[in-house]
Amino acid sequence: MKLREFGEFGLIDRIAGRVSRKSGVRTGIGDDAAVVELSSGCITLVTSDMLVEGVHFDLALCDPHTLGRKSLAVNLSDIAAMGGRPRHFLLSFALPESLSVEFFDGFVKGLLDLADEFDVALVGGDTCASRDGLVISVTVMGEQLPGRIINRHGAQPGDLIFVTGNLGDSALGLRLLRNGERMGPVVMKHLDPSPRVREGLELAEAGIPTAMIDVSDGLLADLGHILDLSGVGARVDLAKVPLSDSFIERQAAFEGDPFLLPLAGGEDYELLFTAPSIKMEAAGVLLGRLGTRLSVIGEVTAGGGMQVVAVDGSDYRPVARGYNHFSCVN
């Protein structure tokens, strides 16, 4: 069956019927606006990300369930990068009328499964028809005490630069998908990234990061945002950039610079943060307890832009810094 047979309100009912009750929601789906509560003393963090068929995803390469998960995950990652706790979200989409109801249901199930994992409530959205491709927009609202929020602009000279997890898997996974692979850890890191919500929240609550961002456009591009906004420079050691065993094993099949994807591939959804060296041990203990890898990849400098040191100690010249809509660098 195709979506055109359900109509707008039939589809909204299909979503509303699957939403589980969550705390803090006074009025959810079904009224003109949602009414939600914040925890005592907290302020709101709001973020929105759009996924456009043909730009962010290819329906031939993804299944609806993981696409639903990823649509929420990329937004949760932005709340995590501010040290916030995600609470509520809106789902808006433009749907081709020819889309199957199985696809729609799979998408909604994936999205709501991830929402349950992170205890965030779907409280509204907008549903309309699309004449040309699927467009998904998710807006997440999170909360935090004002003094605990971590911005991009707080990096200080002498701070160490930390990154969670591994870099480059997602971009390599996309290449493997385009080559016909559908499974494996690298491919799944691209299709179903895990937002570092607990990591971001606990780091912020422990007062560790001076600046933080999630790596969505590529390490160098996103570190560049921290440096620009903080008015500082950095030295990054390529030898310390964390790579997964699967990445090392699989990337050998591709020619060219092996560091291109870890430095500029994007969609890693790991957390990149700066913190003074005295916090290094605390950060390691905290991430260790969560079972998440943590690496120190360099140091913040007073100026001098971004210097990348190659494994042999020479100056490394990146061929690309990251993904940028409208400029097409990779």
What does the binding site for ligand ADP look like in residue numbers (CB under 6 A)? Answer: 12, 15, 29-32, 91-93, 122, 124-127
User: At closest approach, how far in Å is the CB of 32 from ligand ADP?
Assistant: 5
User: Restricting to residues 118-177, which ones interact with Mg ion according to CB under 5 A?
Assistant: 126
Beta carbon nearer to ligand ADP, 95 or 238: 95
- Order across the sheet with 135-144: list the strands: 43-52, 135-144, 85-96, 121-130
First to last CA, the chain: 38
Residue 7 neighbours by CB distance under 10 Å: 12
Strand-pair category, 160-164 with 233-237: unpaired
* Single-letter code of the amino acid located at 157: P
Beta carbon nearer to ligand ADP, 90 or 223: 90
User: At closest approach, how far in Å is the CB of 20 from Mg ion?
Assistant: 23
Beta carbon nearer to Mg ion, 9 or 116: 9
Identify what 127 binds: Mg ion, ligand ADP, none; CB under 5 to 8 Å per kind: ligand ADP
Contacts of 176 (CB under 8 A, 6+ apart): 184, 186, 187, 250
User: At closest approach, how far in Å is the CB of 10 from Mg ion?
Assistant: 15
User: At closest approach, how far in Å is the CB of 32 from Mg ion?
Assistant: 9
Is residue 8 close enough to count as binding Mg ion by CB under 5 A?
no
Beta carbon nearer to ligand ADP, 95 or 272: 95
Annotate 158-187 with DSSP letters as a single string.
T-EEEEES-SSHHHHHHHHHHTT---SHHH
φ, ψ of residue 190 in degrees (nearest 5): -75, -45
Rounded Cα–Cα distance for residues 267 and 126 (Å): 26
Rounded Cα–Cα distance for residues 18 and 32 (Å): 20
Beta carbon nearer to ligand ADP, 91 or 297: 91
Beta carbon nearer to ligand ADP, 47 or 216: 47
Identify what 66 binds: Mg ion, ligand ADP, none; CB under 5 to 8 Å per kind: none
Residue nearest to Mg ion (CB): 126
Identify what 32 binds: Mg ion, ligand ADP, none; CB under 5 to 8 Å per kind: ligand ADP
Q: Measuring CA to CA, which residue among 265, 268, 315, 275 is closest to residue 296?
A: 275
Strand-pair category, 233-237 with 306-309: parallel
Per 3-state DSSP, the chain is made up of helix, strand and coil in percentages (nearest 5) of 35, 25, 40
User: At closest approach, how far in Å is the CB of 9 from Mg ion?
Assistant: 11
| Cβ–Cβ < 8 Å for 251, 166 | no
Identify what 249 binds: ligand ADP, Mg ion, none; CB under 5 to 8 Å per kind: none
User: At closest approach, how far in Å is the CB of 50 from ligand ADP?
Assistant: 14
Q: Measuring CA to CA, which residue among 110, 154, 163, 119 is closest to residue 140?
A: 119
User: At closest approach, how far in Å is the CB of 167 from Mg ion?
Assistant: 39
User: Restricting to residues 108-127, which ones interact with Mg ion according to CB under 5 A?
Assistant: 126
| Cβ–Cβ < 8 Å for 161, 300 | yes
User: At closest approach, how far in Å is the CB of 7 from Mg ion?
Assistant: 14
Beta carbon nearer to ligand ADP, 12 or 320: 12
Residue nearest to ligand ADP (CB): 124
| Residues engaged in binding Mg ion (CB under 5 A) | 126
